[in-house]
A = this chain, B = another copy of it.
């Protein structure tokens, strides 16, 4: 039997009644030290519970053979930080164990994901895809695009920061924010700037937890203390989220809606192109009414311009309904019809100048 027992965000004191029972009754107890550094006080408390608790590193669990061999014949408990299966390494271990016919049990505990979100006063219903931010530029670009997608959907983005136990390295929040700004400088999707509002949650679950919110420019000048840290780039904020942030966080700046700038490149396109097409249409109709047109084509061209008008009003309606593909298609079609006037008359209704 293999049991994964979560300590949650608290360490030893986050163990549940079930987890303590499992640890006491097991044949072998390991504690992992690679998703989070093991704190001395946790180790002391665990050793007070059982003197034979063994600290293990990533390779031991990824290799897994010793763990699985022991779990075939006895009760093995692996203690983890957080909710055990949030780490994919642990899901893979359970999958291997189950494939070998070993009984498995997971004792869930608090996860950094819901704990940080809650401490910031943010709604779980507004959280987009969670991403890990690492210092490697290729991987950080993909995180930047997760942020882009989340903001397009008005969602918050939680960024877990790289931790490498073997190198004793953890990505600092200011470096993390700088990496995102570098992605912006390369990718130029208008996702993030020094004016973007973000939250740095530090040491959630510990005595000296801190939640600091502000523009990235302000956060870059702040001292966050020792890790672990988690960053949230907020999307569109519900007013109750803003109220909660005001009393839960140390705010260096007022929260803003980060998604507004990013959202709907389609919206921006439509909001400038539709009025432009209406003006051109109105000029084309003016020329038609004033008799500039060749007589033979008058009625065809009038039909075309009437249709262009109908399609523009369709484009407006589709845009209101957030059916952007349809809106743009209708807009493009109307522009084509209006341009046919230009081809046929040599008069450019877009600029009032002759081509």
Binds B, one of A69-77, A78-86, A217-225: A78-86
**Residue contact A334 to B331, C-beta cutoff 8 Å:** no
Given the complex of chains A and B, what is the CA–CA distance between A343 and B324 in angstroms? 27
Given the complex of chains A and B, what is the CA–CA distance between A7 and B52 in angstroms? 29
Binds B, one of A10-18, A32-40, A177-185, A251-259: A10-18
Given B126, B294, B311, which contacts A296 in the complex, CB threshold below 8 Å?
A: B294
Given B16, B124, B125, B324, which contacts A16 in the complex, CB threshold below 8 Å?
A: B16
**Residue contact B95 to A121, C-beta cutoff 8 Å:** yes
Copies of this chain in the oligomer: 2
A64 within 8 A of partner (CB): no
Residues of B within 8 A of A83 (CB): 110-111, 114-115, 118
**Residue contact B127 to A130, C-beta cutoff 8 Å:** yes
A243 within 8 A of partner (CB): yes
Residues of B within 8 A of A16 (CB): 8, 10, 13-16, 109
A289 within 8 A of partner (CB): no
A171 within 8 A of partner (CB): no
Interface flags, A289-301, vs B, CB<8A=1, else 0: 0000010110011
Residues of B within 8 A of A130 (CB): 124-125, 127
**Residue contact A340 to B336, C-beta cutoff 8 Å:** yes
| A265-287 contacts to B (CB < 8 Å) | 265-266, 269, 273
A162 within 8 A of partner (CB): no
CB distance from A79 to the nearest CB of B (A): 13
A6 within 8 A of partner (CB): yes
Q: How large is the interface on A (under 10, 10 to 19, 20 to 34, 35 or more residues)?
A: 35 or more
A135 within 8 A of partner (CB): no
A26 within 8 A of partner (CB): no
Given B110, B132, B336, which contacts A125 in the complex, CB threshold below 8 Å?
A: B132
A244 within 8 A of partner (CB): yes
Given the complex of chains A and B, what is the CA–CA distance between A43 and B18 in angstroms? 17
A123 within 8 A of partner (CB): yes
A56 within 8 A of partner (CB): no
| A294-352 contacts to B (CB < 8 Å) | 294, 296-297, 300-301, 303-304, 307-308, 311, 324-325, 328-340, 343-344
Identify the closest chain B residue to A21 (Cβ): B13
**Residue contact B106 to A109, C-beta cutoff 8 Å:** no
Interface flags, A84-121, vs B, CB<8A=1, else 0: 11101001101100110000001011110111011101
Point out residues on A near B: beta carbons under 8 Å: 6, 8-10, 12-18, 20, 83-86, 88, 91-92, 94-95, 98-99, 106, 108-111, 113-115, 117-119, 121, 123-132, 149, 153, 155, 205, 240, 243-244, 247-248, 265-266, 269, 273, 294, 296-297, 300-301, 303-304, 307-308, 311, 324-325, 328-340, 343-344
